[in-house]
């Protein structure tokens, strides 16, 4: 009898691996029937990861969006699943246990069937509580292993981790190949071992296309007994995203597997609708390079989903490095040369930092350190000259146990800074907080929502939820979209706040698109702290850089003129939407 392989459409991850935003509720409702009519999907990824935070960022209620998107799939008998970051829930930083537990109750009530639970460090202690809480809420607990390739991450390493998760009660196992660098043969061996020991356990594979292994990997895991494969569809497949369902279906059918047929009329309709969403507004936030694959990722192991932010980081740093080199009468370097230097530095420091799987947020931490190392070494200064607090938290064990051994150099640096290593349960660092949020909602007269879903959003995404409730998120997004459109079509007219007229007549306020720490002038001149009053700056120049929790984000100027006011000094913290400087044309 032919082995049956089922497909899951990762519609959420397709968007988040492409750009910054995900479709609105009305768009999700429009495309759901076409996805159903394609007839080839047993599962659809509807939410999780950062998608619900993104809803809040552009002023939409994520609870409404999740309920509306899951409903037609529930009615059609197609399972829905979400991405769950374990200790971090569905945000970038750790979440108290009571909020994590509430998440499963809320998401099950909203129509989500499966929680894909992963820990970016593969620390089972961060996954096992969620297995229990998901099952208590009536969800399928899909325990997930972050796949990568190193001397530490061997076949036995993953088989042992899978055994630990299955023993803890996991209903299913997912191999999350977030960078697509898992070697096909190795992945096949892991799946074979799991299915041989536990034939009743469902196994699902998720692999990004970036470095080019994913199609071969899907064939290998299929031969080894995998049950579900995550796939994408045009116009968002391939590149840094996932293989297209058409290719994978044809390959498996030819190999003798039982796979569903694809209703191509519905496929083309869904394809057209997705392109319509891109043309509407989402495309303004998609980097064109994310449509391309790159074998350069094989060595660095960086995930495809962060390549857009990485390339933006490089632009700002590239300008600063060449400014410094020019001042030192040294040859300038190209952006490609800088990219290779960064990839090589990631390869060098990754094992020294304990081989954390390069997945959110740890991929950002390692990349940030590598980028700062490159910058400082070009200036003649030592590695590790700048490590942010979040990265130190990972190094010290506050997020979980690192898979590999820290280099003696890193341990010595921690001792030099009087940092203490943490060996306890990471969740113990984050006490329960729901009573605090309940009290504030009652004081504000805010409704806790159906099944406590509004309470959950407030506790999970406090700052973004406040901005959503006040309307600030929507106002800020509208400005951001206007800027993105203006940059694309070189339009210069912008709406100017009244405050600008009072403070700096005839000047444009340049607002920060991000929250983080301000870094002015990456040109390495020792006297260069922040730009002097009256400095000339051109449209599309990089004004400054903001160091966020997971990237160095350049801030682009949108008017020709001179800097007439600095609102944030070197090293200051800035919130998204706050004015950094004023430029007078």
Q: DSSP state, 126?
A: G
Which candidate, 147, 57, 20, 53, places its Cα nearest to that of 551?
Answer: 20
Last residue of a domain, one of 290, 325, 358: 290
pLDDT bin (cut points 50, 70, 90) of residue 312 is low
Same domain as 194, residue 315:
no
CA distances from 284 to 18, 144, 460, 484, 538 (A): 11, 32, 27, 6, 21
User: Residues 390, 508: one domain?
Assistant: no
578 located within any domain = yes
- d(Cα 367, Cα 295) in Å, to the nearest integer? 18
CATH of the domain at 258: 3.20.20.70
Give the pLDDT of residue 527: 45
Query: Which residue has better confidence, 467 or 484?
Result: 467
Higher pLDDT, 482 or 253: 253
Which SS3 state, helix, strand or coil, does residue 566 take? strand
Cis? peptide before 235, omega within 30° of 0: yes
Q: For residues 573 and 516, is the Cβ–Cβ distance under 8 A?
A: yes
Type and span of the H or E element at 118: strand 114-118
What pairs with residue 552 in β-bridges? 547
Distance (Å, rounded) from C-alpha 371 to C-alpha 393? 19
Q: Tell me what pLDDT residue 313 has.
A: 72
pLDDT of residue 495: 43
Who wins on pLDDT, 516 or 185? 185
pLDDT at 501: 42
Number of neighbouring beta carbons within 10 Å of residue 95 = 22
Residue 200 has pLDDT above 50, yes or no: yes
Between CA 480 and CA 474 the distance in angstroms is 10
Clarify whether residues 520 and 564 are in a common domain.
yes
- SS3 for 362-408 is HHHHHHHHHHHHHHHHHCCCCCCCCCCHHHHHHHCCCCCCCCCCECH
Query: In terms of domains, do 79 and 99 share one?
Result: yes
Q: What is the pLDDT of residue 44?
A: 98
Residue-averaged pLDDT of the chain: 91
Q: Is the pLDDT of residue 151 over 60?
A: yes
Last residue of a domain, one of 406, 429, 452: 429
Query: Does residue 236 sit within a domain?
Result: yes
CA–CA distance, 266 with 338 (Å, rounded to integer):
44
Considering the domain architecture, whether residues 156 and 22 belong to the same structural domain is answered as: yes
Q: Which long-range contacts (CB under 8 A, 24 or more apart) does 124-128 make?
A: 124/161, 124/164, 124/165, 124/168, 125/400, 125/401, 125/425, 125/426, 125/427, 126/86, 126/87, 126/399, 126/400, 126/426, 126/427, 127/86, 127/165, 127/168, 128/165, 128/168
Q: Give residue 416's pLDDT.
A: 94
Q: How far apart are CA 202 and CA 69, in angstroms?
A: 25
Are 367 and 304 within 8 A, CB to CB? no
Are 532 and 569 in contact by the 8 Å Cβ rule? The answer is no
Residue 147 has pLDDT above 90, yes or no: yes
Which secondary-structure segment (H or E) carries 427? none
**319 plus 333 within the same structural domain:** yes
Q: Is residue 12 within 8 Å of residue 46, measured between CB atoms?
A: yes
Paired tokens of 248: 């994978």
Number of independent structural domains in the chain: 3
442 inside domain: no
Q: Is 344 helix (H, G, I), strand (E, B) or coil?
A: helix
Residues 554 and 419 in one domain: no
What are the beta bridge partners of residue 542? 556
Based on the fold, state whether residues 135 and 157 are members of the same structural domain: yes
Tell which of 290, 321, 336 closes a domain: 290
Same domain as 215, residue 106: yes
Of 127-141, 381-395, 439-453, the one with minimum mean pLDDT is 381-395
The pLDDT value given to residue 282: 92
Q: Give me the pLDDT at residue 487, please.
A: 72
Indicate which CATH number applies to the domain containing 555: 2.40.50.100
pLDDT on residue 153: 96
d(CA 89, CA 569): 34
> What's the rounded Cα separation, in Å, for the pair 377 and 524?
11
In which band, very low, low, confident or very high, does the pLDDT at 335 lie, cut at 50, 70 and 90?
A: confident
**Mean pLDDT computed over 71-95:** 96
Q: Is it the case that residue 143 has pLDDT exceeding 70? A: yes
428 Cβ neighbours under 8 A, 6+ residues apart: none
Is the pLDDT at 369 greater than 90, yes or no? yes
The tokens for 383 are 């590695």
Pair 133, 165 in one domain: yes
**Pairwise pLDDT comparison (218 vs 290), residue with the higher score:** 218
Three-state SS for 241? coil
> Which pLDDT score is estimated for 505?
63
Residue 308 has pLDDT above 70, yes or no: no
* Residue in the structure block whose two tokens are 């768009």: 27
Do 107 and 225 lie in a common domain?
yes
Which among 258, 370, 255 has a CA at the least distance from the CA of 306?
370
Q: What is the pLDDT of residues 490-538, one digit of tens each?
A: 543 444 334 444 456 678 889 898 888 898 875 544 444 667 767 888 8
Q: pLDDT tens, 22-37?
A: 999 999 999 999 999 9
pLDDT of residue 292: 84
Q: Is residue 153 part of a domain?
A: yes
User: Residue 366 sits in which domain range?
Assistant: 296-429
Place of tokens 């099944």: 451
Indicate whether 76 and 170 sit together in one domain. Answer: yes
Rounded-to-integer distance, Cα 127 and Cα 124, Å? 5
Find all residues with CB under 8 Å of 416, minimum gap 6, and list them: none
Q: Is residue 451 included in any domain, yes or no? A: no
% of the chain beyond a pLDDT of 90 = 68
């Amino acid at each position: 009898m032919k082995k049956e392989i089922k497909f899951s459409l990762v519609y959420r991850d397709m968007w988040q691996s492409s750009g910054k935003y995900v479709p609105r509720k009305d768009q999700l409702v429009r495309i759901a029937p076409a996805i159903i009519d394609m007839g080839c999907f047993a599962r659809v990824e509807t939410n999780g990861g950062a998608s619900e935070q993104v809803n809040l960022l552009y002023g939409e209620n994520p609870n409404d969006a999740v309920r509306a998107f899951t409903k037609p799939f529930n009615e059609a008998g197609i399972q829905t699943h979400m991405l769950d970051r374990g200790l971090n829930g569905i945000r970038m930083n750790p979440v108290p246990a009571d909020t994590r537990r509430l998440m499963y109750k809320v998401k099950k009530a909203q129509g989500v069937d499966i929680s894909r639970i992963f820990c970016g460090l593969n620390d089972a202690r961060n996954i096992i509580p969620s297995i229990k809480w998901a099952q208590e809420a009536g969800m399928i607990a899909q325990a997930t292993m972050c796949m990568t390739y190193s001397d530490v991450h061997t076949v036995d390493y993953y088989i042992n981790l899978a055994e630990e998760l299955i023993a803890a009660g996991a209903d299913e196992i997912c191999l999350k190949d977030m960078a697509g660098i898992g070697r096909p043969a190795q992945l096949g061996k892991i799946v074979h071992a799991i299915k041989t020991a536990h034939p009743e356990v469902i196994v699902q594979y998720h692999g990004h296309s970036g470095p080019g292994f994913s199609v071969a990997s899907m064939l290998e895991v299929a031969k080894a007994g995998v049950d579900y494969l995550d796939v994408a569809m045009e116009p968002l497949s391939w590149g840094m995203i996932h293989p297209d369902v058409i290719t994978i279906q044809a390959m498996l059918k030819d190999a003798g597997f039982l796979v569903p047929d694809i209703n191509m009329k519905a496929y083309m309709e869904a394809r057209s609708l997705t392109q319509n969403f891109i043309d509407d507004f989402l495309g303004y936030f998609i980097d064109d390079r994310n449509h391309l694959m790159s074998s350069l990722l094989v060595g660095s192991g960086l995930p495809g989903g962060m390549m857009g932010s990485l390339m933006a980081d490089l632009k700002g740093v590239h300008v600063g490095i060449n400014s410094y080199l020019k001042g030192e009468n040294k040859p300038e370097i190209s952006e490609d040369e800088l990219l290779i230097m960064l990839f090589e530095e990631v390869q060098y420091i990754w094992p020294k930092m304990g081989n954390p799987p390069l997945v959110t947020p740890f991929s950002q931490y390692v990349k940030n350190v590598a980028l700062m190392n490159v910058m400082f070494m070009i200036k003649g200064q030592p590695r590790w000259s700048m490590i942010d607090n979040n990265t130190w938290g990972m190094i010290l064990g506050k997020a979980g146990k690192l898979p590999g051994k820290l280099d003696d150099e890193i341990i010595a640096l921690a001792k030099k800074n009087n940092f203490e290593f943490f060996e306890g349960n990471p969740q113990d660092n984050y006490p329960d907080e729901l009573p605090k949020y309940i009290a504030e909602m009652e004081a504000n007269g805010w409704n806790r929502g159906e099944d406590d879903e509004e309470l959950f959003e407030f506790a999970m995404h406090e700052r973004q939820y406040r901005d959503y409730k006040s309307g600030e998120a929507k106002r800020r997004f509208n400005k951001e979209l206007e800027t993105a459109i203006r940059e694309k079509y070189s339009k210069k007219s912008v709406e100017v706040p009244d405050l600008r007229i009072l403070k700096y007549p005839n000047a444009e306020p340049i607002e920060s698109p991000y929250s983080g720490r301000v870094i002015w002038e990456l040109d390495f001149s020792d006297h260069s702290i922040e730009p002097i009053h009256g400095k000339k700056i051109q449209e599309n120049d990089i004004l400054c850089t903001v160091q966020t929790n997971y990237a160095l984000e350049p801030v682009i100027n949108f008017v020709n003129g001179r800097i007439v006011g600095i609102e944030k000094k070197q090293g200051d913290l800035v919130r998204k939407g706050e004015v950094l400087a004023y430029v007078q044309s």
